[in-house]
Amino acid sequence: MTSAFVPLLTALVFLCLAQESRATPAPSADAPQEAARRELRQVIFGSSEVAGGSVFLGSGFKRALAGSVDAQGPIMMSLSGAGATGESFAGPAGIRFVQPRLSQSSALLFGYQWMGEFGVLMLAAGPEIAREQQLDRFGMPRWQPARRGVGFIAEVWTEPWSQTMAQATLTVSGARGSIWGRVAAGYAPFERVFLGPEISAYMDDGYEELRFGLHLTGLTLGPFTFRLNGGILHAPGRRDETYFGFQTYFKI
């Protein structure tokens, strides 16, 4: 029961926010002007990634607790993710099989974002829950007990010169015992569409990896903004593999 607390709380919070968004007064004669003045309070986002023999999906939202989501102030974030990894298993007569192994995580974070000439800085922390499957001696995936902890995220976005950007993100998961960080830079060949290199690193108790790649950030289609990335994944003791990612968000 308790392992479902954060996902359930996240769902309830999201439903309340959606209900608030629907509870908008009927349009008046000044509707165009009112719409122009209406503050966007939330960012809803999703992501997918293929890395070697693994697939990851993520979703969530960021909510401004006071004013616009594009303004300085307190924020709330919900993050949920799921993954599937192909695990090699030695069966009868030495025949090796690949068995999918699943993982899940959820977090509800509270923090603050600062706006200035330097760009945007965001810090947030809160409770999280993670669980994963392990293969038993027969090669069957079994869910392990849920692990709880405190999650932390820090992110900075800056545009130091005309048509350039730099971004750095750091996440620490107490539930998974992991650290992940990414640094990216880019140049805008088109307005607000940045192309450039990225490097990321991940580490937990039993696994480490480095990624080197390229990203394309800022493509838009209607209300949606997209980020595409891909490159090479290097993990010690393993063959190098490729990764591809797709992220999108929209504001409401």
What's the CATH number where 15 sits? 2.40.160.40
Q: Which helix (H) or strand (E) holds 8?
A: helix 5-22
How far apart are the C-alpha atoms of 224 and 150, rounded to whole Å?
31
For the ranges 93-97, 154-158, 194-198, the lowest mean pLDDT is seen at 93-97
Q: For residue 246, give its domain range.
A: 2-251
The structural domain count of the chain equals: 1
- 152 pLDDT band, cuts 50/70/90, is very high
Rounded to two decimals, the pTM is 0.81
Token pair of 171 as six digits: 């996440």
Question: Of 136, 129, 134, 135, nearest to 151 (Cα)?
Answer: 129
Could you report the per-residue pLDDT of 163-177, keeping only the tens digit for each? 999 999 999 999 999
Question: pLDDT tens digits, residue range 124-143?
Answer: 999 999 999 998 888 889 99
